[in-house]
Structure 1
Amino acid sequence: MGNILHANAKTTPKIRKKIQESKDSAPTLAKRYKLNVKTVPR
């Protein structure tokens, strides 16, 4: 069975993994994935 995302989820498990492994800054990642800067560190 696949992962069930929350209705308001902005990221998928794959995107979260890429963000966690990235060495880029939060603003850069936020722009890349169209997220709020405060969402990235979560």
Structure 2
Amino acid sequence: MMTGCGAEIGSNEWCEKVAAKPKASWSEGDAADYARHCVDESS
């Protein structure tokens, strides 16, 4: 796993970058991390 080159997973910046990518290009890890950190379950 590469770290330090981009936004911290779960940060607003990271969530925005992942959301801007086509979902077909998301890795399994991206999808899991996005669901865990970026999806507001209260809505």
Q: TM-score, normalised by structure 1?
A: 0.38
Q: TM-score, normalised by structure 2?
A: 0.37
Higher relative contact order (CA 8 A, sep 6+): 2
